[in-house]
Amino acid sequence: MTPAAPLSPVDRADLRRRVDAALTSFMASRRAWMAGIDDGLTPVADALEAFLLRGGKRLRPAFAYWGYRGAGGPDSTQVVATLAALELVQASALIHDDLMDRSDTRRGEPAIHRRFGTHHRRAGWTGSADAFGEASAILLGDLCLVWSDELLHSSGLDSTTLARARPVFDEMRSEVTVGQYLDVLTQATGDTSLERAGKVARFKSAKYTVERPLLVGAALADAGPEVQAAYSAYGLPLGEAFQLRDDVLGVFGDPEQTGKPAGDDLREGKRTYLVAAAMQTLDPAGRKLLEQRLGDPELDTEGVAALRELIVGSGALERTETRIAQLTETAVAALHRVELLPEAREVLVELAAAATRRRD
């Protein structure tokens, strides 16, 4: 494919606005469709518009877009709309994840299952408000996954171009689903090995955050195998580093920045790399304490502080930070082993820093 024209700084900064515009237009059409079915669907439209349009870093469309541009793909409104479908996959995963983790908030607002439980209570309906909220979250998460298909195919790109990306898009959605199951399984079995933590991170988050979006972009641009290989060599370690940063924030993050209560991952019993690394080096008494308190939904501020101190003292936090830095360095190095549009390579390097940046 002929290399695309150089990119201006405005083009880079404008991508998020364009993704938001595509999602806004799509949701307006879905709201009108639901309004024609039943007034009872208005809260569904309200909730999903709020969830999709008020927050989110748009990392997945960004990786896909710059992967596409790096491989020589020309800019178009249709391409941006196609890649906005990745945000619907993300919304589905987050809605279901919050339900499975029994999380109260997302981005500082009530999680979808909590929102609909509250809606039930305020309306004074019969039956269990919590059960209604949980059922609503399952269905709204499913709806987002269905809509990701609809947006992908209604974006305006020709069928031949879409057909190249379809297998990657499908595999990505399958991977994140089985990754979510592995996360649930790991919590149930109590497996705290580094191997298991790495596999969960890779399939639950890493691949669908960076590698697969890049490969979707590469497929749309009809990129050759050398570009695809470079994107995997960049995307896999960077996706893992991104998940490790998220794990650190889940234990040590500021609620004002994360939008979730401090130490929520500890209450949810997440068997992350951070926890696995601590388990490896703690003495028997420390391991026993961490095992006993991990997954305690009643863990208070003092309990969170005690487990944080335990993790820091074990060297696990430092070890995790070192691994994040190493993985990010490996990822960025892969971009320089293949010919890409220079401006797109520069943005991908910037995205690597943004995805793994400390927030303290």
The domain containing residue 215 runs over which residues? Answer: 9-353
Once rounded to an integer, what is the mean pLDDT over residues 265-275? 90
Q: Is residue 359 part of a domain?
A: no
- Return mean pLDDT, the chain: 92
Structure tokens at 25: 């237009």
DSSP string, 151-191: HHHTS---HHHHHHHHHHHHHHHHHHHHHHHHHHHHHHHT-
- Count other Cβ atoms within 10 Å, centred on residue 31: 17
Q: Is residue 273 part of a domain?
A: yes
Residue 297: DSSP 8-state = T
Say whether pLDDT at 5 is over 80. Answer: no
Which amino acid is present at 87? E
Q: Is residue 185 part of a domain?
A: yes
Q: Is residue 360 part of a domain?
A: no
Q: Is residue 338 part of a domain?
A: yes
Give the percent of the chain with pLDDT over 90: 83
pLDDT in tens, 154-213: 999 999 999 999 999 999 999 999 999 999 999 899 898 999 999 998 998 889 999 999
Q: Is residue 123 part of a domain?
A: yes
Q: Is residue 330 part of a domain?
A: yes
What separation in angstroms does the CA of 270 have from each of 135, 295, 339? 23, 7, 40
Q: Is residue 358 part of a domain?
A: no
Say whether pLDDT at 258 is over 80. Answer: no
pLDDT in tens, 57-111: 899 999 999 999 999 999 999 999 999 999 999 999 999 999 998 989 888 899 9
Residues 335 and 351: their CA atoms lie apart, in Å, by 12
Residue listed under structure tokens 């709309």? 81
Handedness of CA 104, 107, 110, 114 (dihedral sign): negative
Residues 235 and 19: their CA atoms lie apart, in Å, by 21
Q: What is the CATH number of the domain that holds 175?
A: 1.10.600.10
Task: Tell which residue, 238, 203, 246, 243, has the closest CA to residue 335.
Answer: 238
In the chain, which ranges are continuous DSSP H helix?
A: 9-35, 42-53, 59-70, 77-101, 112-123, 129-153, 159-189, 194-201, 212-220, 225-252, 255-258, 264-268, 273-281, 284-293, 301-314, 316-335, 342-356
The answer to whether the beta carbons of residues 235 and 338 sit under 8 Å apart is no
CA–CA–CA angle 97, 258, 133 (5° rounding) = 35
Number of domains in the chain: 1
Strand boundaries in the chain, DSSP class E: 105-106, 109-110
The answer to whether the beta carbons of residues 299 and 293 sit under 8 Å apart is yes
Once rounded to an integer, what is the mean pLDDT over residues 334-358? 93
Say whether pLDDT at 312 is over 70. Answer: yes
Residue 268: DSSP 8-state = H
